[in-house]
Amino acid sequence: MRQVTRTVRALSVFGVTTLLLTGCATGTGSQDGPAAEFDADSAITGELSVMGFGVNDEIAESRFESAQAELPDVDITLVEGDLDIQQFLSAVASGEPPELIYANRDQLGTFASRGAIMPLNDCLDAEAIDTTNFREPAMNQVTFEDQVYGVPEFNQVQVTMANAGLLEDADLSLDDVDGSDWNGVTEAAEKVFTTDSGRISVIGYDPKLPEFLPIWARANGADLLSADARTAQLNDPAVVQALEFAAGLYEIQDGFSAVKAYRDSADFFGSGNQFASSTLGAMPMEQWYINILNDVSPDAEMAFTTVKDTSGEDLSFSSGSAWAIPAASSNPEAACRFIGHMTDAETWVAAAGVRAEARQAEGKPFTGLFTGNQTADDQIREQFVKPSDDAKWDEAIDASYAANESSFSLPANPADAEFKTAWQDGVNRVLNGQQDPQEAMDQAQEEAQTALDEAWSTWDDE
């Protein structure tokens, strides 16, 4: 089985930039020297620099403090803020990467194929990190060519959120906007959509393009990428049909540009959000937005259910973060133990208890915690998720947990960024009126497949 042990290459800034923009699959580094010696019984010392992770809420703070206590002889420093890909790859190319990174899961296939991060199979075995406790869609995103390159952290899924008052006024129900009947969704969008003096005043239904194309495609029985991650399927007839449907929802509501402009004008994170102001009928949205709504507009007329495919089954697209160890990490042993502790069910449950207490003190419901660790999620729900005084939030919680059990993901591949850019650009060309769905997805298919072929060819030849 392939072990990534390429020598660090001191790439110029131009070289790293080219790597990012063109998808060149040149290896960017690995550990050169003694192999990591993972051992659960060994004393861990030294320094641990963590890039991409911040202590910005009680969940992160509780877990980080617990990890510090677990590693008392390790000097842990955080490079906060989202992972800067160029900064990271430049650090790898210079031979001085951080000891640990916190990245989006859909970045790891590219990092792994370029030798920027190390396989973690030995780490997982030594620290007894049981990957069977983690959700399969999350693990699929961090597994490349049968090697695990990351350990999942949070898990994000989507639910259908709706303004109950607007639905009732239009004689509609959640069944009309859950996605199970595309004709029904179109009719609902038309009924709720309202204009005032020629300008949009209420968006009937927002399908959240371009980012949610994978959901609409899967709802129609198609995936954007083959299971082996080698073949793009962007112009599959079912994908094209899904794009026609979702983009068509904008066309019957004065077009994408008008809807987007009105959507962007909303106080999305404030008390004047689109649901509280009754300016949006329904949309699919990540479950974390439920807490925002509960915080800033608890009295808004809301209703929640899962997103459903065309056969009526629950559906959601799994995304989220993961821990990975750079291939030239100077302290992979500390990084591995840190990962094991941060993603352990016991650590997650303790952090959830802190948040549940905080929510109770504020008189607000605890809506759950959604991680890549299914064991942790089950324990958290059992211990801390209690019925609230408002049935709509219980409805939101139930929908979120159902979505978490019905998620899918795209497999890791060596051209993650280029593949995503290809299909999103294709969707945007449709939304901007530059191409019809078939033309756009044909072009996206060619671009995506070229990127995949080049990246896989380089990997297979090494």
- What are the φ/ψ torsions at residue 456 (nearest 5 degrees)? -65, -35
Using DSSP's 3-state secondary structure scheme, residue 178 falls into coil
Helix 289-296, helix 391-404: angle, nearest 10: 170
The span from the CA of 430 to the CA of 426, in Å, is 7
Using alpha carbons only, what angle is made at residue 224 by residues 407 and 215, rounded to the nearest 5 degrees? Answer: 40
Listed residue (419, 329, 410, 412) closest to 111, CA to CA: 412
Task: Give the contacts of 328 (CB within 8 A, at least 6 positions apart).
Answer: 8, 29, 30, 31, 32, 92, 95, 96, 97
**Token pair of 368 as six digits:** 């759950």
Q: Hey, what domains does the chain have and what are their CATH numbers?
A: 13-154+320-351 (3.40.190.10), 158-317+414-451 (3.40.190.10)
Can you give the pTM of this predicted structure?
A: 0.89
ω into residue 210 within 30 of 0, thus cis? yes
- According to the 3-state scheme, what is the secondary structure of 276-319? CCCCEEEEEEECCHHHHHHHHCCCCCEEEEEEECCCCCEEEECE
- pLDDT per residue as tens, the chain (462 positions): 333 333 333 233 333 433 443 333 333 334 444 578 888 888 899 999 999 999 989 999 999 999 999 999 999 999 878 888 888 888 888 888 999 999 999 999 999 998 999 999 999 999 999 999 999 999 999 999 999 999 999 999 999 999 999 999 999 999 999 999 999 999 999 999 999 999 999 999 999 999 999 999 999 999 999 999 999 999 999 999 999 999 999 999 999 999 999 999 999 999 999 999 999 999 999 999 999 999 999 999 999 999 999 999 999 999 999 999 999 999 999 999 999 999 999 999 999 999 999 999 998 999 999 999 999 999 999 999 999 889 999 999 999 999 999 999 999 999 999 999 999 999 999 999 999 999 999 999 999 999 999 999 999 877
Helix 345-361, helix 58-70: angle, nearest 10: 140
